[in-house]
Amino acid sequence: MIRLALKTRPDLPLEADTIRPDYFAQKTEAEIAKLPVLHGNQFCALGDFFNVRGGASDQLVLEGDLAQVKRIGTGMEYGQITIHGNAGMHLGAGMRAGEIVVFGDAGDWAGAEMCGGKIHIHGNAGHGLGGAYRGSRHGMNRGMILVEGNAGNETGSLMRRGLVAVRGDVGEFAGAFVIAGTLIVFGSLGRRAGAGMKRGTIVAYQQPELLPTFTFDCVYQPLYLRLILQTLQLEGFSIEEEWRTGAYRRYSGDLNALGKGEIFVYDQH
């Protein structure tokens, strides 16, 4: 296991896309400490900001308030990162496999355009969670993101495949332009959810303000949702029994786009 403890809080954002377990796996403690990070517009060494303990492992533990540390685990291909504290922007963006667990909050664009692996955020997530960067044709494409707190705007926008589950509330444009994939929100769903979605599923547990381009279909008990909820439970997400057995109102849309998307709203009655 490798431990990175923040010793100097950077006064400018630190672009640290070198903090990746797959990069560390073949490196010694001294080599890791020498890896470059961009502090403002100056290159510094990782060791300037972190106390590094251990080497040659793909199990990585980060400690301290890393809210200013961006790009942790971006593009990682294997290994595990555990962060005791907050994480900065672009956490695990574009990651292909592996696991990131944050005992704190994550900044904007966590898991953006990821194409595999798992991110579990025990605090809140920012905007663009699992979303698409500006101009991209799709966002998250495979993988799983679990958030115990709230998430910001454009959660899961342009998602192509994968699962995003948020325990708390999400902001506006959740699941906007989704191509496929599933977004489950246990708190409140912000306005304009699913705007422009082609296919894919959004599940809400409080009645959202839906766009007029979504039409009500029926009330039923989607079987596959039980399986997804069961999976979430296995991942340590607490799921109430009636969510699994209860009925859901199904709306289809966005009729401005392809219209094959669906929004399920849990029907308490």
Partner 1 sequence: MIRILNGEVYDPINGIAGEVRNLYICDGRISSQDAGGRTIDAAGMVVMPGGVDMHCHIAGPKVNTARKLRPEDHRAHEIAKTPLSRSGTFGSVPTTFATGYRYAMMGYTTAFDAAIPPLAARHAHEELNDTPVIDKGFFLLMGNNEFIMERIAAGEKEEVRHFAAWLLQAAKGYAIKLVNPGGVELWKSRSNAHTLDDEVTGFQITPRQIIQSLAEVSEELSLPHPVHIHCNNLGIAGNWETTLETMKALEGRRGHLTHIQFHSYGGNPGESFSSKAAEMAEYVNAHPNLSVDVGQVMFGDTTSLTGDGPLGYMLHQVTGCKWVNVDIENEAGCGITPIEYKEKNSIHATQWAIGLEWFLLVQDPWRVVLTTDHPNGASFTLYPRIIRLLMDREYRKEMMRNVNQKALAQTTLPDLEREYTLNEIAIITRAGPARLLGLQDKGHLGVGACGDVTIYEKNADWEKMFAAPRYVIKDGQVLIEDGHLRGETYGRTFYVSPAYDPAIEGKIRKFFDDYYTVRYENYPVQLEHYLPRPEAIPCRV
Tokens of 178: 């989704």
Q: Which of residues 133 and 237 has its CB atom nearest to partner 1 in the complex?
A: 133
Q: Which of residues 36 and 236 has its CB atom nearest to partner 1 in the complex?
A: 36
Tokens of 29: 């403690």
Q: What letter would DSSP give residue 33? A: H
CB of 31 to partner 1, least distance (A): 23
Site for partner 1 in 137-176 (CB under 8 A): 137
Among 135, 212, 223, 234, binds partner 1 (CB under 8 A): 135
Q: Based on the shown chain and the rule CB under 8 A, indicate whether residue 103 belongs to the binding site for partner 1.
A: no
Q: Where do we find the tokens 């990651």?
A: 95
Q: Which of residues 161 and 198 has its CB atom nearest to partner 1 in the complex?
A: 198
User: By CB neighbour count within 10 A (0-12 exposed, 13-18 middle, 19+ buried), where does 212 fall?
Assistant: exposed
CB of 13 to partner 1, least distance (A): 17
Q: Based on the shown chain and the rule CB under 8 A, indicate whether residue 134 belongs to the binding site for partner 1.
A: yes
Q: Based on the shown chain and the rule CB under 8 A, indicate whether residue 42 belongs to the binding site for partner 1.
A: no
For residues 97 and 43, give the distance between their C-alpha atoms in angstroms, rounded to a whole number: 28
Q: Pattern 248-267, binding to partner 1, x per CB under 8 A?
A: --------------------
CB of 180 to partner 1, least distance (A): 16
CB of 100 to partner 1, least distance (A): 22
Binding segment for partner 1 among 132-140, 164-172, 221-229, 242-250 (CB under 8 A)?
Answer: 132-140
Question: In sequence order, which residues have a C-beta less than 8 Å from that of residue 181 and are 6 or more positions away?
Answer: 140, 156, 159, 160, 161, 162, 163, 164, 200, 201
DSSP string, 55-122: -S-SEEEEES-BTTEE-TTTT--S-EEEEES-B-TTTTTT--S-EEEEES-B-TTTTTT--SSEEEES
Q: Based on the shown chain and the rule CB under 8 A, indicate whether residue 212 belongs to the binding site for partner 1.
A: no
Binding segment for partner 1 among 73-81, 131-139, 143-151, 186-194 (CB under 8 A)?
Answer: 131-139
Q: Pattern 47-66, binding to partner 1, x per CB under 8 A?
A: --------------------
**Is the peptide bond between 254 and the residue preceding it cis, with omega within 30 degrees of 0?**
yes
Among 8, 26, 28, 136, binds partner 1 (CB under 8 A): 136
For residues 151 and 124, give the distance between their C-alpha atoms in angstroms, rounded to a whole number: 6
For residues 261 and 265, give the distance between their C-alpha atoms in angstroms, rounded to a whole number: 13
For residues 120 and 180, give the distance between their C-alpha atoms in angstroms, rounded to a whole number: 21
Binding segment for partner 1 among 51-59, 135-143, 186-194, 241-249 (CB under 8 A)?
Answer: 135-143
Q: Based on the shown chain and the rule CB under 8 A, indicate whether residue 133 belongs to the binding site for partner 1.
A: yes
For residues 30 and 35, give the distance between their C-alpha atoms in angstroms, rounded to a whole number: 9
Residues in the site for partner 1, rule: CB under 8 A?
133-137
